[in-house]
Amino acid sequence: MVLVELKKALLMANGKKVFGENVQRLRFKRKLTQDQLAQNCGLTLRYIQMIEAGAKFPRLHTLRALSHSLNCTWNDLFAKL
């Protein structure tokens, strides 16, 4: 049981990291700074930094804001997950 929980935690951590890398890649593609993306989404710079670092995973309303601000689909945000 403990091994299963550990595996889930590792997969979740990797998922956050890949998601953050996707956000960063899309942001670079749009030539936006982290601060610009944060302002466009109504978020703090620190929160964007934490998403890109894989430390945080955004809630649904933030996912919508990211998708809109990055002019991308949800598939783009979740690529390679």
What pLDDT is recorded for position 33?
98
Q: How far apart are CA 51 and CA 53, in angstroms?
A: 5
- Closest Cα to residue 22, out of 2, 1, 37? 37
CATH classification at residue 38? 1.10.260.40
What pLDDT is recorded for position 52?
98
What pLDDT is recorded for position 24?
98
Residue 24 is assigned to a structural domain of this protein: no
Q: pTM for the complete prediction?
A: 0.86
Residue 70 is assigned to a structural domain of this protein: yes
Number of domains comprising the chain: 1
What pLDDT is recorded for position 81?
67
What pLDDT is recorded for position 14?
87
What pLDDT is recorded for position 80?
84
Q: Which residues of the chain have pLDDT under 50?
A: none
For the chain, the 3-state helix, strand and coil shares in percent, each to the nearest 5, are 75, 0, 25
Dig out the tokens for 39 from the structure: 């302002």
